[in-house]
Chains A and B, each alone.
Chain A
């Protein structure tokens, strides 16, 4: 039963992944991505990694993808325009991918590539997935875990460095400056010598100027 479920989920995952890059509508693509994340979570669930599965759904599907969907909906980008060259290269790419996949399948189906006795170890009663994960992260995998945190920090620094900019053309008010303003900053008294009253030309009587 588990094996059947695995193949079902794997097929859904692959199809959803393919649809992410081929969907014409970016919102649909994002939704397919949600589906693929969800299916990946289900695969983890089959491996009895419940905590990872749940956190994938909560973090990616629940938070990241929703934000992503908002961004996609707000952006006014013609994605079809961006992907103009895409369909032209699909036949060649598909051919290469098919050959590669066939070669990989040929090797992986070979009897020598099978791993005998490779099965999920049945956990002892009272085994807690979360407990074990926490223990591993803070003991054996302490270094990679900390480095992954550094990686996230770099991602944040990079995102801010690449997007934050002081716009020269944006008009904003500084209330402090507004309050501190003095009369002399705004009004300038100019001494002018008296001049003759300027004369205005009389508007012409005919209707040419009205047209």
Chain B
């Protein structure tokens, strides 16, 4: 074996990111707390270069590397670009919040970049072992990031819950993977599907048995009902930048992960996993939307809203064809942007000693900060799925795929649940525009750069909503090139 046979160039973005993260880890030791901005800008520069390498390495045909452990196909590449953007937004929005709460440290950056590496590996892995290691790299970084505010009881509790339930989910997933290996004698995603479908040399019963555990593990990581118990506590307890990190980019990674395991490895078992995903999606849509109504904390409300959005994502995946997968991909990408913008506004209003996480904190925001009230309005409309905003087209694409499959009842149910969901999104708008502010106007945190990026992020929700076709076409092409159907 030589370096050329490893074909390592395909993984250039990951290799660069890893080396750069190690460099940041070391360089940060020589930076005093007052000059931490250096680490901040260096990390953003690394993300820009990683993104550029990803765009440069875009090929329509899947390219394999590291003896078929790693694949760079359009689906993975686009998902990775999305993740890089997601993590960059976390770093930009979270800076002043982190600085006010004593977590503006080098570890915040190195762990966030390591979590990005984990996500990128999850998107590109084509072997069960690589998939699992990528997932663990992401999870371990996130556990530590949640606990980064060591003196906060809430954060520590959230980290503990996240860790224990995450470990349980990893155990389930590993058990399922071991059964898949037992059934097919292969760890390679494509070989598994080959042996089960074409050669018929696998053991279908054992594979289905493993599938149950794999789906359970995926549902845990996505936070789909009934495996959602960790989501609200972690969202509320984690520092808001970390909540944003958990709630945005990893959803894209989880989407790619699910596609690799269900759509590629278990391609021939679509009816089996479809019925499991239907149950997960229906429960997620119902419980996510209904419970969100009762929340008074906006981070907790976002947590339940994430659960319902994951229900929609699962709806797209369960369709089991290119249309469904690309609809789900579109949903994941746009949801990542929407969630990032939502948490961005929350962090902009937060300041030292004030979290801005109660719904009452948003009363009369339109009087005190009309521009950012308008931005949050865009986010809420997009999440609720009001037409011309991007959330509407994402939901529409998923629902169209579900109706094409003939599951009209499921689409009707999803629409009904989104209508219920619209209530709590619009309640935030009502609080902002029709209620009197509590107390005097508080200053916004964050520098001009943060505000401009946040505004652009929010306006992008409207912009993509007005012209959704280009992005949808790009993602559909990516799915078509990547999945040999």
Q: Indicate which residue in B134, B141, B204 contacts A154 across the interface (CB closer than 8 Å).
A: B141
Q: Indicate which residue in A112, A144, A157 contacts B110 across the interface (CB closer than 8 Å).
A: A157
Pairs A–B under 8 Å by Cβ, sample size 27: A107-B205, A107-B209, A108-B209, A112-B203, A115-B182, A115-B203, A140-B67, A140-B69, A141-B69, A142-B66, A143-B66, A144-B129, A144-B130, A147-B134, A148-B133, A150-B137, A151-B133, A151-B140, A154-B114, A154-B141, A154-B144, A157-B114, A158-B143, A161-B105, A161-B144, A162-B144, A162-B148
Chain B neighbourhood of A161, CB < 8 A: 105, 107, 111, 144, 148
CB of A197 within 8 A of chain B? no
Sorting the interface of chain A by its residue count into under 10, 10 to 19, 20 to 34 or 35 or more gives: 20 to 34
A-B contact count (CB 8 A): 86
By secondary structure, the B interface counts as helix
Q: Indicate which residue in B133, B143, B182 contacts A144 across the interface (CB closer than 8 Å).
A: B133
B313 to chain A, nearest CB (A): 26
Binary B-proximity of A87-125 (CB < 8 A = 1, otherwise 0):
000000000000000001001101011110010000000
CA distance A154 to B22 in the complex (A): 10
Q: Is the CB of B150 within 8 A of A165?
A: yes
- When C-beta atoms are compared, the residue in chain B nearest to A115 turns out to be B203
CB of A62 within 8 A of chain B? no
Interface positions, chain B 112-147, Cβ under 8 Å from A, are 114, 117, 121, 127, 129-130, 133-134, 136-137, 140-141, 143-144, 147
Chain B neighbourhood of A160, CB < 8 A: 107
Chain B neighbourhood of A150, CB < 8 A: 18, 114, 117, 137
Chain B neighbourhood of A162, CB < 8 A: 144, 147-148, 150
A56 to chain B, nearest CB (A): 17
CA distance A110 to B209 in the complex (A): 12
- When C-beta atoms are compared, the residue in chain A nearest to B208 turns out to be A107
CB of B206 within 8 A of chain A? yes
Interface positions, chain B 199-258, Cβ under 8 Å from A, are 203-206, 209
Q: Is the CB of A154 within 8 A of B206?
A: no
Chain A neighbourhood of B70, CB < 8 A: 143
- When C-beta atoms are compared, the residue in chain B nearest to A116 turns out to be B203
CA distance A59 to B136 in the complex (A): 21
